[in-house]
Structures are given as C-alpha cells and as structure tokens.
DNA sequence: TCACCGCGAGTTGCATGCAAGGTGCGGCGG
DNA sequence: CCGCCGCACCTTGCATGCAACTCGCGGTGA
C-alpha cells in the first residue's frame, strides 16, 4: 500500500508517532525551528517550551535530545542546547553526501538485482512523474511524493539497513532532503528544464539498474543529487524560493 | 596534541563525558551489551538496570534512547527496547558503507587539499605504523590508535561535518569500526600480511591525496575497508578471534 | 572608580510518584 | 478437560520536586 500523500507546507519530513507527548514535542519544536522561531545559535531552554507546548519538561527534554541527534540542535559541551546554524558550505556538503549515498543505493540495487518487481515499480513511478507534465503549483506536491517513493524504492532494492539509516540521517536535515529543492515554475522559472533533467536521471537510473550497470547507476545517482545543488545555487538569489525551503532560516549565508 | 591512547579491552569506542549519571549509564549498558550480557533480541527493561547500575530510571532511560539511536538497541514500535541483533549480512553492509564513506573522505581530502600540514601528519602516522613492524600482542593496541588517528586526520582534511557524522554513526557499530578487525598475529596467524597490505593502502592514500588524484583516493579508501571484510571472513572460523570482536555476540551467524 | 566577592535567579540533572496500558496467569464456566 | 474472561502485576510515559551548578548583578572595600 503506498504511503498517503503528505503535501503540507512542511512536507518531506518523516512522520512520527503522534500519540505520545514526546513525539508531539519533537514535531512541535522541529516546526518552530524550521519556521525560524529561534535565531541561529540561540540557546533553547526547557521552561519556555513547557509553557509554549503545554507539557512537562520530561518529554521536551527527550525531544530536544532527539533533535540534537538528528543535527538540528547543538548539544552544548556542559549542558543545554543551542539552535544549530549551518554554513552554506555545510548544506552543499550535505547534498554531496546525499549524492554519494544515493549513488551507493543505486549501485547496490544494480548489483543485487533479483526479479522484476522492483524495476516495474520504478518504471511506474517514472511514468507517473512524466505524466504530471510540468511543475505547477498544483502538481509539485504530487511530484515530490512520487520522487520520494522512487528513491525509497531504490533504497529498498539496495537492501542495506545501514545505508538506509545513513540516508535517513542526511535527509533529516530538511534542506538537504530530496524534495527540499523542488519548486513550482511560478517560483523558480526554469523548474521545467530542471524537471526534465531529473526525469532523465530517473530513467537512466532504472535502465542502469535493470542492466546491472552498477558503476553507471552509481554515477547517475550522484549526479542526480548535484541537481539539488544547482537548484539551491539559483534559489539563493531568489528570496521567495529561499523562504520556502524548510529550515532556510538556519542557513548562515554570510559564512562560507 | 595527539589523543591519549585508549588501549583498553573495549577500545575504539568514542569517549564520553563520565561526569553525568546518563553518561555512566550509557557506558555501562553499552559495555553489558558488547560483552554479551544480554541475549540477541532480548527485551531490556529499566528496573533491572536500576538495581544493576545504582541510579534512577531517568538517566537509564536517556541512555537506552541513545543506544537505540546509535543502533545497538531496537526501539520497539509500541514501547520498550530490545537488544538489536545483526545478521552477518548487515555487518558486511556496514563495512561496505564505511568503505564508501572513507573513500568519500579521501576523495574530498584530495579535492580540497591545501597546505602540507595535513599530509605531513599523515606521513608521520604512516612512519609510526611501519615502525611497529608487526602486530604482536604488545603493539597492536598502539597500531589501532595510530590507524584511528590516521583516518581521523583524513576526515579532518575532507572538511565535511556531515560526512563526519555519517562515519561516526557507522563506526558506532563496534564490529564495523576501523579497529575492530585488527588482531595480533598470535590470534590470527596471517595478520602480518594483512598489516602489510593495510600499510600499503595508507601510503597509496597519502600519495593520491598529495597528488590530488581524487578518484584514486576514493578507490583506495573503499578497498581499504574491504580488508576488514576479508579479515572478518577469516575470523568467522576462528572462535578465539570472534570472541575478541566487541559486540560479536550480537551477530547472528545463522542468519545471512 | 575599579575590582572582587557573594548572593540570587534561572536552569538543568536526577529521583520519585502516579497513572495508564499491556501481558500473562489463574479461575471459572461451558 | 478445554477455552475464555478478568484481574493483578509489571512496565513504561509523564509530571513534579529537589538539589546542584552557573552566570550575572549589585554591593562593598580598597
């Protein structure tokens, strides 16, 4: 069963169990962080959040710990947490690392290929994405969903739990995640061309995996991530686009 | 200043602040896990640990959470933690992933090389390792230290915080960490040859980085990790060696 | 006027109490 | 005798209280 579409403003964030206070705290604080409710480097203390989130310190503590672990907060040496700030260079590095890992996923998928089920699924995702025919304000959320499913499927086919964890870790930085750099044409004018290139990458990935061309699969997987890098470089000069990047306020543009 | 040698029985484990109950709980439970105090898949409940570690549930809870995050425990869907068990395949995948990441570190170090300081340090580590001249019971701890410093230095030269975190994550699985698969000759007879190959890899890495041969650096970095894989395959048929691998009891050898 | 010391507020680490949920066992009924 | 239901204990999630620590400010003395 395919995952339900999660096309909210803060999409591309992994869903978590909502039935515990800790999970709600995690989601709530993450949302605050990504919406720029705190300044970069600001110290986060627990008591204000108690008032803001309406729960006791215990779940808030746990949530802060988790946020520190996924890299959105810094755990100070002595104690306490501060809002992590990212130099632009770190964002670019994160995208590069995602490329390496997705390339590895594609390579392993090619090396370990067995059966047609995975390939068929990938081809269907490709077809669906091509059927969208452009990134309008209405279709781009759907595209992000399909795109996410496509890459998840490759990850499945790679069959490496460790790789899955590593990629999850990288993608937990919102602006490095695969769908963070997708904008409708109305925001970034040249999205159409970018989309075409992305779709070509997808086709090439499927073909390479199908033919067990593992080196080609790895190369294309890497190159595909560089696309996000290029989109980011364009978006940097576009305030509208930059504002839409989740967690964009955590990026320190003045620091290379 | 070089890091102090940490050649205890459970070396190769990142040091943590010992001044907090949580840190002590983390270390204590990790030690229990790696020494096989629990069966694979066993459920870990908090109260027994309260008695065993002499502290309240709060720090134990936090420590369990952290252990789950680094992958030594499974956080059950509903609640509670169980001891993670690793199929042999996952261990091999972890080593493969480490190869990918260390290859990437070497590539980035080559691409971003500036100045001679890093290279000089690497060369010194190489000299020191070669000066050991064999892996006796007395020298192999020192070798692991030097080896760890060498790879850390390359990671520094890569200059990617994201990459550092990813590698740290992989290395937190004790049997995948770079020094887990180093045995003195008295345990694994052919360690001498393996050591020679490792030293050659190190030299090749330094040379490739120095000449900015980034592709070569990446390849050698990957291949270097495969050495651990081969040592593991030999060690699998050697009970003595296997017992020395930290966390070896968590590996389910019957499951591929 | 400047420097140092001490106190106080704020903050975190930890312990513990309480309630809710789950699981297993025993008893009861068929 | 077997199966099912209910109760009780075990376990965890969360709240809260307490103590220690830090940082900063103000007062006092040189």
DSSP for B67-115?
Answer: HHHHTSEEE-SSS-EEE--EEHHHHHHHHHHHHHHHHHHHHHHHHT--S
In chain A, which segments carry CATH 1.10.10.10? 21-84
Report residue A81 as tokens: 């947490």
Name B237's Cβ contacts closer than 8 Å, sequence gap at least 6. Answer: none
Tens digit of each residue's pLDDT (9 = 90 or more) over A85-108: 899 999 999 999 999 999 999 999
Query: What number is the average pLDDT over the span A222-245?
Result: 86
Backbone angles phi, psi at B75, to 5 degrees: -85, 110
Residue B10 has pLDDT above 50, yes or no: no
Tens digit of each residue's pLDDT (9 = 90 or more) over A154-193: 999 999 999 999 999 999 888 888 888 778 777 777 778 8
| Chain B partners within 8 Å of A90 (Cβ) | 160-162
d(CA A23, CA B254): 36
In chain B, which segments carry CATH 1.20.120.530? 87-252
* DSSP, residue by residue, B135-194: --TTTHHHHHHHHHHHHHHHHHHHT-HHHHHHHHHHHTSGGGSTTTT---TTTSTTHHHH
What is the structure's pLDDT at A256?
Answer: 67
Mean pLDDT (chain B, rounded): 87
What is the structure's pLDDT at B17?
Answer: 61
Contact between B163 and A93 using a beta-carbon 8 Å cutoff: yes
* DSSP H or E stretch at residue A239: helix A239-244
Report residue B84 as tokens: 């993670």
What is the structure's pLDDT at A194?
Answer: 87
Percent above pLDDT 70 for chain A: 93
What is the structure's pLDDT at A6?
Answer: 36
Answer whether any strand C atom is within 7 A of the Cβ of A61: yes
d(CA A72, CA A70): 6
CATH class of B21-84: mainly alpha
Answer whether any strand C atom is within 7 A of the Cβ of B59: yes
Residue B32: count of CB within 10 angstroms of its CB: 16
Are B82 and B39 spatial neighbours (Cβ–Cβ below 8 Å)?
A: no
pLDDT band at B210 (very low <50, low <70, confident <90, very high): very high
| Chain B partners within 8 Å of A170 (Cβ) | 162, 166
Instruction: Please tell me the CATH code under which domain A87-252 is placed.
Output: 1.20.120.530
* Interface with chain A: mutation pick from B15, B23, B95, B100, highest number of A CBs within 10 Å: B100
Residue A188's nearest CA partner among A131, A138, A254, A234 is A234
Work out whether strand A251-252 and strand B73-75 pair parallel, antiparallel, or are unpaired. Answer: unpaired
Query: What number is the average pLDDT over the span B156-169?
Result: 94
What is the structure's pLDDT at B1?
Answer: 36
Are B205 and B224 spatial neighbours (Cβ–Cβ below 8 Å)?
A: yes
Residue B225's nearest CA partner among B83, B36, B79, B97 is B97
CA-to-CA dists, residue B135 to A191, B144, B188, B247, angstroms: 58, 10, 10, 22
Are B122 and B114 spatial neighbours (Cβ–Cβ below 8 Å)?
A: no
């Amino acid at each position: 069963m395919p995952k339900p579409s999660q096309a909210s403003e803060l999409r591309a964030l992994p869903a978590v169990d909502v039935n515990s206070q800790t999970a709600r705290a995690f989601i709530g604080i993450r949302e605050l962080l990504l919406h720029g409710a705190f300044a970069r480097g600001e110290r986060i203390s627990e008591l204000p959040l108690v008032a803001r989130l309406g729960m006791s310190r215990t779940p808030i503590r746990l949530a802060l710990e988790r946020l520190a672990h996924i890299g959105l907060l810094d755990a100070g040496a002595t104690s306490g947490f501060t809002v992590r700030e990212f130099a632009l260079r770190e964002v670019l590095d994160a995208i590069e690392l995602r490329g390496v890992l997705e390339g590895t996923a594609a390579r392993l998928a090619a090396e370990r290929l067995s059966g047609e089920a995975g390939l068929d699924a990938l081809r269907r995702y490709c077809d669906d994405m091509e059927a969208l025919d452009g990134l309008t304000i209405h279709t781009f959320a759907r595209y992000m969903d399909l795109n996410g499913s496509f890459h998840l499927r490759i990850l499945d086919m790679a069959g490496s739990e460790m790789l899955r964890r590593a990629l999850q870790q990288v993608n937990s930085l919102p602006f490095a995640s695969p769908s963070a750099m997708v904008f409708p044409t109305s925001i970034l004018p040249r999205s159409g061309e970018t989309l075409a290139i992305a779709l070509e990458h997808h086709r090439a990935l499927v073909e390479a995996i199908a033919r067990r061309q593992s080196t080609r699969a790895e190369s294309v997987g890497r190159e595909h991530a560089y696309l996000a890098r290029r989109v980011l470089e364009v978006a940097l000069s576009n305030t509208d686009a930059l504002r839409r990047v989740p967690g964009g306020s955590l990026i320190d543009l003045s620091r290379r």
